[in-house]
Amino acid sequence: MDFTNYQKQLAQPEGEITVARTVRNFAGWFFDLLRNFVLVGGLKYFAEKSGSDVLFYLHEFALIVIFLYCLSYVDQWYVNLFGFMENRKLGYWLDIGFNGVVAIAIFLIIHRGASIIVAEISRAQF
């Protein structure tokens, strides 16, 4: 039996498909990220337990990579707060300054959050 023609005839609202796909994509991304945090936490745990320098540096490298991965989602925006100003050059530099401050704040939040998550995961292993 070939059900492909039957499936094509079923009418599904387009909005529901988009919402379900978005939820599945987010869940897949979240659990991949969570798995990676658990891996980095496990590396930290084993590095602390064994005293191995190789595992410690592997953990540090993995922490940097997961941190950069999180930051890769931040660079997709730019806030244009001062576009209304008549002096375009000043407005441009004010926008750059504001976006720089926001980027640094997000950088510090992600760094602190990643460090806390990895520390808690490695501590839970004891």
DSSP letter string, 42-76: HHHHHHHHH--HHHHHHHHHHHHHHHHHHHTTGGG
Give every CB contact of residue 50 below 8 A, 6+ residues apart in sequence: none
pLDDT at 64: 85
Distance CA 103, CA 69 (A): 15
> Quick check: 126 pLDDT over 70?
no
- Tell me the pLDDT of the chain averaged across its residues: 79
> Quick check: 9 pLDDT over 90?
no
Distance CA 41, CA 49 (A): 12
Distance CA 27, CA 31 (A): 6
pTM of the predicted model as reported, rounded to 2 decimal places: 0.58
Residue-wise pLDDT for 32-61, tens only, equals 888 888 888 888 888 888 898 998 899 889
How far CA 37 is from CA of 15, 30, 41, in Å, comes to 33, 11, 6
pLDDT at 34: 83
Distance CA 113, CA 108 (A): 8
